[in-house]
Homo-oligomer: A and B are copies of this chain.
Amino acid sequence: MVNVAIIGGSGYTGGELLRILSNHPEVEITSITSRKYEGENVENVHPHIRDSKLVFENKNSEEFDEDIVFTATPHGASMEIIPKIIKNTNAKIIDLSGDYRFEDYSIYEKWYHLKHTGYIESVYGLPELHRKEIAKARLIANPGCFTTGAILSGYPLSKKGYADRMIFDSKTGVSGAGIKPSEATHYPNIADNVNPYKVSTHRHTPEIKQELQRYSPVKISFTPILVPVLRGILTTNHSILKDEYFDFETKEQREDTSGKIEELYKKEYEKDPFVKVLSNGEIPKLSSVRGSNYIHIGCFEVDETGQLVVISAIDNLVKGASGQAIENMNIICGFDEKLGLDFFGMHP
């Protein structure tokens, strides 16, 4: 059994850590913190978590004697807390904020408009790309929600250098905006609407670039869109294929290209337990992954202009946040990667 602490556990990612870890056979949650809700039972904030007996605490960094600490704190806060925990405890840390996701901290500072004051070496916690480094890490930077869906939809292509350009048009459920009400999450602004925001300026853009441009100089564009959905990110990756590698003039050529790309993805992800590459043009559905740690990737349709459409679906709070964090925990603890995460999505 490993003991686990959750710092900043009053938000949606905190709730998901609780929901999933409650059924993890090798984990005991021994503390959960929240300044705002200090002294309250977790069920007052997370009405689905009943009888846990957990109470929100307000603890200092030296007081954590857990094996694993999840920091579900906002960016800016993580970089203050984590160096202290590293210094004062033996815990391994999985950070759900953006603070430790960048190899080049000047990129962080440019996109987050914030000075980074707590530099520490970290590993980017996307198991499909960095499983080995994760296993040995002290500090894991859990990827952003959009980022997970986007990178995994483009990684096999970029690795091969097959695409000139990827345009990500990503539709996200509103839980991605967090537990705090705002104009952007006000029901009458969301329902029956489709709201693009921070077009070309969203902070997940440089994360996507960092991971995908590692392999080839593919151009990256990113448009996030709020849709009237609770959970889930459906990413439409419009990739422009290089015509030196593929043909797409005739219907047969396009089908052939499509088939080759499906194969490429299947091969790449065959050992990744949470990636399902769909066959024969099947289109991923958010409801198939809702509540689960799976990512479904499919479509692979090519048109006459060489535009390939790859579509991925995740639950933004699970594979896009807390589930992936637990997957990372499993890896660093030497557990089976699926332990406690081996359940299907909820359709309908």
Residues of A within 8 A of B (CB): 12, 15, 19, 22-23, 46-50, 165, 167, 169, 171, 173-175, 179-183, 185-197, 199-201, 219-221, 223, 225, 227-232, 234, 236, 238, 240, 276, 283, 285-292, 294, 299, 301-303, 305, 307, 309, 311, 342-348
Contacts and interface: CB of A to CB of B under 8 A. Distances in A.
B199 A191 contact: no
A345 B48 contact: yes
A47 B347 contact: yes
Contacts of A285: 47, 193, 195
13 contacts: A22-B344, A48-B346, A167-B238, A174-B188, A181-B183, A186-B187, A192-B229, A192-B230, A193-B286, A193-B287, A195-B285, A221-B238, A228-B229
A133 B47 CA distance: 33
Contacts of A220: 305
Contacts of A294: 50
A326 to B, nearest CB: 14
Contacts of A192: 173, 191-192, 229-232, 286-287, 290
A240 to B, nearest CB: 8
Contact of A307 (B183, B187, B200): B200
A232 B174 CA distance: 19
Contacts of A342: 23
A236 B225 contact: yes
A227 B195 contact: no
Q: Which of A49, A186, A291, A301 has the most CB of B within 10 A?
A: A186
A47 B288 CA distance: 6
Nearest to A184: B181
B223 A238 contact: yes
Contacts of A302: 200
A313 to B, nearest CB: 8
Given A192-B192, A285-B193, A346-B19, A199 B309 contact: yes
A195 B186 CA distance: 16
A196 B347 contact: no
Nearest to A178: B188
A226 to B, nearest CB: 9
